[in-house]
Amino acid sequence: DQQVKQNSPSLSVQEGRISILNCDYTNSMFDYFLWYKKYPAEGPTFLISISSIKDKNEDGRFTVFLNKSAKHLSLHIVPSQPGDSAVYFCAASGGKTSYDKVIFGPGTSLSVIP
Amino acid sequence: GAGVSQSPSNKVTEKGKDVELRCDPISGHTALYWYRQSLGQGLEFLIYFQGNSAPDKSGLPSDRFSAERTGGSVSTLTIQRTQQEDSAVYLCASSQTGGLQPQHFGDGTRLSIL
């Protein structure tokens, strides 16, 4: 049973436009969420996180929105750049699983077209 | 370098053989994690070490899998009597203190079982 879902395996966006990557979770005990970015043949790198006490966190071109009632979060990238082309993993932790056992989604592959 | 180092980067072996994968975490990081990423899948948690505490082995898929962390630093993941379904990229990550600290990943070991 997948506790963190990313229902879009891939997404294509024109350079300069907004990229919106979605993530849904099923465990209402999760209260800390992260996004990681992964290039081919490299390990994932941390991008941005959000605690459940907030509904938005912004870092430069990256903003994460959290809707607790819908158990949904999204990552917005604006403006999108070709270097943003990568696989993006949504991850969640907290509650009974503790903050150390981070559950990752299957990833969404983003292609930013020049 | 200053990042998480994994070796070997690629490993091809015959079914039934034992393999050892190595992870050198970032110096001073007390938390160390192992994950597995099978083709088209997300990151699957395997095991977590924190300081001198007993490791969380709850993600290990079978008793053929084991891991050690010597001296609170280098870790080895051992897979005995490998099976074809063990073929995956094995990723190691470390974080400063665990918990809410972001994890820093190595580039992984791509394991192929013939």
Local mean pLDDT, 10-residue blocks, chain B (114 residues): 90 97 94 91 90 89 94 93 96 87 93 96
Shortest Cα–Cα distance, A37 to chain B (Å): 11
> Mean pLDDT across chain A, nearest whole number?
93
Q: How far apart are CA B53 and CA B98, in angstroms?
A: 12
Locate the DSSP E strands across chain A: 4-5, 10-14, 19-25, 32-38, 45-51, 56-59, 62-67, 72-77, 86-93, 103-104, 108-113
Using CA atoms of B31, B66, A101, B53 in order, give the dihedral in degrees to the nearest 10. Answer: -50
Q: Which residue has the higher pLDDT, A114 or A99?
A: A114
Residues of chain B in contact with residue A4, where contact means CB-CB under 8 angstroms, are 42
Reported confidence tier of residue A39, pLDDT bands at 50, 70, 90: very high
Residues of chain A in contact with residue B100, where contact means CB-CB under 8 angstroms, are 32, 49, 99
Q: How far apart are CA A40 and CA A91, in angstroms?
A: 19
